[in-house]
Chain A
Amino acid sequence: MFPFDYHRATTLEDAREAHAAAEEPAYLAGGQTLIPTLKMRLAQHDRIVDLRRIPGLTGIRRDGDTLVIGAMTTHQAIADSPEVIAALPALAAMAASIGDQQVRAMGTIGGALANNDPAADYPAAALALDAAIITDMRSHKAADFFGAFFDTTLDPGEIIREVRFPLAEAAAYAKIRNPASRYAVVGVFVARTAAGPRVAVTGAAGQVFRHEAMEQALAASFSPTSLDGVATSPDGMNEDQHASADYRAHLCGVLAGRAVTAIVGAGSR
């Protein structure tokens, strides 16, 4: 690791000031991506601003038809939460599939969303469920928030406070995990909402995206067989040592089918 100075923020304002006063600062949430990145010297920051002790950034609550999760809530807390399991069981199951037990004990939803790894899981849930990402400055719609390859609409220094997930009638997430990193080779989150079915795909391309052809097919008839013949173009799909673009395009259909099957019940296909 390159040297850095360390600031433990006590309030959001304190964090913003410490961040603004440095040349190349980084916020530290759970650190499960940032610390390995620093160790490999893939990043160099003159200051690390630790958000972990700022009060009020953890916790899970229901607000009417919305599930509200504090940014510093860990993946494990989301996976284990009775509120999440009752309101959005697909989100709890998705959180339980991230990394491993020890990573989930440290990693946070806010950190994962701010990092926006193109193979991360939460972006698919946030996009499919039309979540709002609330910062110390404003509210971002998930549809606008995620850019290509780690980019987001967060301004420098902006801090995620909480994520608001509108509840779905039903939802499921299916993914093929890279067995070493446990990131999604491809992951598909399907939500059945009052506004119609929504299908969000992560891991396949440079950023999470909605699969509109699948959404239209599912709107006509919400069943796995509706997806038969819905093509996914390999154009723009990621191609690496783990999977070709063609294979990732193929997995979009396979995993969407699994998610829809999980929603409607395994007996229907």
Chain B
Amino acid sequence: MTVNVSMTVNGQSISRDIDPRTLLVTFVRDHLGLTGTHVGCDTSQCGACVVHLDGQAVKSCAVLAVQADGGTVDTIESLSAADSPLHPMQEAFREHHALQCGFCTPGMVMAAVDLANRNPDPSVEDVHAALEGNICRCTGYDPIVTAVQAGARAMNIQDGHAQDNG
């Protein structure tokens, strides 16, 4: 059996015929070639696969692509184009050395952007709670927490400037 799915991925309308058991993470990586989203544990534990579905962070290894039909999916690739400046959250991760091997980073950044969208100035405890579903085996988390706080503030400032500019 195949089913047709249509959705907006990183601002682009796409439509594909897929096997209904296709996971959303498989769909974005293998069908759309967006390999920034990673498969880490594949058991909903690690959060490397976090994308935004209709504006909320979800684990794309625990969502079927058919569940996203008609919806909006944003992956790590949506944050900044190859030839443009990094997104403020990505820049904060770079600045604060919040990654070593980088494997967990796409999910960390997407979870962090989700937090910043809801909470523009998160406390350390807020960051801990929001990243509970994201595992990093390199950093020991402290630089990630610092980066998420800085990135959220930077996103807030950028949004404020955008509003000031009208």
Contact = CB atoms under 8 A, between A and B. Distances in A.
B58 A35 contact: no
Contacts of B132: 100-101, 182
B45 interface: yes
Contacts of B114: 101
Interface residues of B, number: 33
Contacts of A106: 58-59, 62-63
A35 B62 contact: yes
B44 interface: yes
Interface in A90-115: 99-103, 105-106
Interface residues of A, number: 28
A39 B42 CA distance: 9
A235 interface: no
B62 to A, nearest CB: 5
Contacts of A155: none
Residue from A28, A36, A40, A52 whose CB has the most chain B CB atoms within 10 Å = A36
A50 B66 CA distance: 9
Contact of A31 (B63, B129, B130): B63
Interface in A158-188: 180, 182
A4 B57 contact: no
Contacts of A6: 1, 3, 20, 64, 66
Interface string A24-47: 000010011001101110000000
Interface of B: 1, 3, 19-21, 23, 42-45, 47, 50, 53, 56-59, 61-64, 66-67, 69, 111, 114-115, 129-134
20 contacts: A1-B21, A2-B21, A3-B19, A4-B21, A6-B1, A8-B66, A31-B63, A32-B44, A32-B62, A39-B43, A50-B66, A101-B57, A101-B114, A102-B111, A103-B44, A103-B59, A103-B62, A105-B57, A105-B58, A180-B45
